[in-house]
Amino acid sequence: MNPLYNYTLKLADDTLIFGQRLGELCGQGPYLEEDIALTNIALDYLGQSSNLFKYAAQIQGENRTEDDLAFLRLEKDYLNCQLSELPNGDYANTLLKVYFFSLYQKLLYQELMKSTDSQLSAIAEKSLKEVKYHYTHSSTWVKMFAGGTEESKTRLNAAVQNLWEYTQGMFAESQGEAELVSLDIVPDSKLLYEIWKSAVMDDFGKFGIELPESTFMQKGSRTGYHTEYFGFILCELQYMQRTYPNCTW
Q: Greatest CA separation found in the chain?
A: 55
- For residue 125, is it within any domain? yes
- For residue 111, is it within any domain? yes
- For residue 249, is it within any domain? no
Question: Among 128, 79, 122, 130, which residue's Cα sits nearest to residue 108?
Answer: 128
pLDDT tens string, the chain, 249 residues long: the values are 799 999 999 999 999 999 999 999 887 877 778 888 899 999 999 999 999 999 999 999 888 889 999 999 999 999 999 999 999 999 999 999 999 999 999 999 999 999 999 999 999 999 999 999 999 999 999 999 999 999 999 999 999 999 999 999 999 999 999 999 999 999 999 999 999 999 999 999 999 999 999 999 999 999 999 999 999 999 999 998 888 888 776
| Total tally of structural domains belonging to the chain | 1
Question: Among 90, 117, 88, which residue's Cα sits nearest to residue 18?
Answer: 88
CB 196 within 8 A of CB 96: no
- For residue 248, is it within any domain? no
Range of the domain at 178: 3-243
> CB-side exposure of 114: number of CA atoms within 13 Å?
10
Indicate which CATH number applies to the domain containing 77.
1.20.1260.10
pTM: 0.96
Alpha helices by DSSP H, the chain: 3-22, 32-60, 66-71, 91-112, 118-146, 150-163, 177-182, 189-207, 230-243
